[in-house]
């Protein structure tokens, strides 16, 4: 699927409804946005990762901070 869209004044773009439906993206969901070396943009469904090492499994949360169990254990050891 490919389409063209104009960039709005506030920097936003509208992702076509058929693409949103195909991807299962719903209003209000979080998206991860990154740039590519060739001047492109990648938009993906948000995946939570450890704030410290980038792991995406065995995550836990402390207030607003997401971290993996390994980093949490390392932090616990450093504080005790
Ligand atoms: Zn970690």
Q: What is the pLDDT of residues 13-36, one digit of tens each?
A: 999 999 999 999 999 999 999 999
Same domain, 4 and 36: yes
Same domain, 60 and 28: no
Ligand 1 center from residue 76 Cα (angstroms): 13
Ligand 1 center from residue 32 Cα (angstroms): 19
Instruction: Say what the pTM is.
Output: 0.62
Domains held by the chain: number: 2
Q: Can you tell me whether residue 44 is helix, strand or coil?
A: strand
Q: What is the pLDDT of residue 32?
A: 92
Range of the domain at 14: 1-47
Ligand 1 center from residue 74 Cα (angstroms): 9
* φ/ψ bin of 5: left (φ > 0), alpha (ψ from -120 to 50), beta (otherwise): beta
């Amino acid at each position: 699927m490919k389409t063209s869209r104009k960039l709005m004044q506030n920097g936003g773009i509208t992702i076509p409804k058929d693409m949103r439906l195909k991807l299962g993206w719903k209003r209000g969901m979080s998206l991860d946005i990154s740039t590519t070396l060739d001047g492109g943009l990648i938009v993906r469904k948000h995946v939570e990762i450890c704030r410290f090492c980038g792991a995406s499994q065995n995550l836990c949360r402390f207030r607003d901070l997401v971290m993996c169990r390994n980093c949490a254990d390392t932090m616990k050891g450093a504080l005790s």
